[in-house]
């Protein structure tokens, strides 16, 4: 765009020569932005009431969601679950053995003190 006088308002080299022209351009741009925002806000309520466009609403097919969640419920094989249960029971038994051993060790220490 040629502006009479040969000055391009977007040219940073010519900004210093006009004094207030830079702030006038900023003010003009701010007014444009405010106008655009006001227009958007006027239409925003209409957009919210209408909801998303129909093509977006109908894109997702949720008919296989049930199958998906059912398959996730059995993602760990039954054999592995049985192994973990057996390991849990064995560790619990081992804990009981160690607890009993600790008690017996305390009793033995007390008897040794009594004997000495």
Number of domains in the chain: 2
- CA atoms of 26 and 32, how far apart (whole Å): 10
Domain span at 47: 28-59
User: pLDDT for 51-82, tens place per residue?
Assistant: 666 666 566 778 889 899 988 888 899 999 99
Domain membership of residue 18 (yes or no) is: no
Assess if residue 55 is contained within a domain: yes
Residue 23 included in any domain: no
Site of tokens 């059995």: 74
Same domain, 51 and 81: no
Distance of alpha carbon 1 from its chain centroid, rounded?
A: 46
3-state SS of 37-81? HHHHHHHHHHHHHHCCCHHHHCCCCCCCHHHHHHHHHCCCCHHHH
Q: Mind listing the pLDDT tens digit for each residue in 22-57?
A: 676 777 677 888 888 888 888 877 777 666 666 665
- Do residues 111 and 81 share a domain? yes
- Residues 80 and 109 occupy one common structural domain: yes
For residue 80, tell me if it sits in a domain.
Answer: yes
pTM above 0.75, yes or no: no
Residue 66 lies in a domain: no
């Amino acid at each position: 765009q040629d502006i009479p006088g040969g000055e391009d308002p977007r040219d940073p080299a010519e900004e210093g020569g006009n004094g207030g022209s830079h702030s006038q351009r900023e003010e003009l741009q701010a007014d444009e932005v405010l106008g655009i925002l006001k227009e958007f806000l006027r239409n925003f309520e209409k957009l919210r009431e209408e909801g998303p466009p129909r093509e977006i609403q109908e894109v997702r097919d949720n008919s296989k969601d049930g199958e998906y969640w059912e398959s996730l419920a059995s993602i760990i094989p039954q054999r592995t679950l049985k192994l973990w249960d057996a390991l849990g029971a064995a560790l619990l038994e081992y804990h009981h053995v160690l607890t009993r051993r600790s008690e017996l060790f305390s009793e033995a220490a007390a008897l040794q003190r009594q004997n000495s």
